[in-house]
Amino acid sequence: MLDKKWEINLTKIEEGVFRTMNGNADEMIAIGRVIKAGFPCSRVDVTNAKYDAIVDIGGSKKLLRIQIKGTGVNSINFTGGYRSGQQISREAPSRVYKYTNKDCDLIVGIDTNNGECYIIPIDDIQQWGNSKSLSKLEKYKENWQILIDMAKDVGTLKDSLTNLEGYL
């Protein structure tokens, strides 16, 4: 998409504060990218929710839950529950977990350096470890067809259930 990296933290905001701001920016940029791809998408403003946005995939009357994962280190992490900063007790038990389909329907990874998006159905990550290199995620990079296909699959499932109603 872009060979040039975006300018980041030109004002030299303290690292911990900027990390939070940059994560929020990644979420907003990813949501904008989903919208530009033609899908109505909204941010979920609930602290500690297991997904960051919802997307209307059209026609099926179903909203998909999106977990947005920003990265600047050439891999996407598929876990949540991390806490960082000076205020966090290091003696507290870990709350880290890997996302599943109970948490969200897909992960949108966004390269914080240039805005490239990786559209990854949540079921695909279950066979992987807790993270994966961007170079091994090329088939998901800017592959908005995945959302279109998910919309078709949901429509097919809905049609199948509607057809079954006559037999129940």
Assess whether pLDDT exceeds 80 at residue 153: no
Q: What residue has token string 């060979």?
A: 3
Q: Domains, the chain, ranges and CATH?
A: 15-167 (3.40.1350.10)
How far is Cα 154 from Cα 71, in angstroms, rounded to an integer?
A: 29
pTM (whole model) above 0.85: no
Phi first, then psi, for residue 138 (nearest 5°) are -55, -35
The 3-state DSSP composition of the chain as helix, strand, coil percent (nearest 5) reads 35, 25, 45
| 63-89 confidence digits (pLDDT tens) | 899 999 999 999 999 999 866 555 555
DSSP assignment letter at 138: G
Nearest Cα to Cα of residue 108 among 48, 168, 26, 42:
26
